[in-house]
Amino acid sequence: MTKGPEKNTKNKALHTKLLNRKNAKIAQEKRDKAARLKALVTKMNERKSAEDSNT
């Protein structure tokens, strides 16, 4: 029996690399967004507590 054609592992490896890069970018953007929101909430809480202490 003969073997079939060779598998195209070069394109598979490149595709996997690109998908991993895309997924890493999406995950980083998600972490950045969460950090910005957390900072904003902290700032608003500080502002609210400062207003409460002034009145």
Q: pLDDT tens for residues 31-40?
A: 999 999 999 9
Residue 53 lies in a domain: yes
Asked whether residue 44 is assigned to any structural domain, the reply reads: yes
- Domain hosting 45: range is 28-55
Q: Does 17 or 7 have the greater pLDDT score?
A: 17
At 7, give phi and psi (nearest 5°): -75, 150
Write out the two tokens for 37: 């929101």
Could you tell me if residue 32 is inside a domain? yes
Residue 46: per-residue pLDDT: 94
Number of domains in the chain: 1
Q: Is residue 52 part of a domain?
A: yes
User: What are 13-28's pLDDT values in tens digits?
Assistant: 999 999 999 999 999 9
Quick check: is 5 in a domain?
Answer: no
Examine the pLDDT at 54 and tell me if it is beyond 80: no
Q: Is residue 16 part of a domain?
A: no
Whether 4 is covered by a domain: the verdict is no
Mean pLDDT of 46-53: 90
- The mean pLDDT of the chain is 91
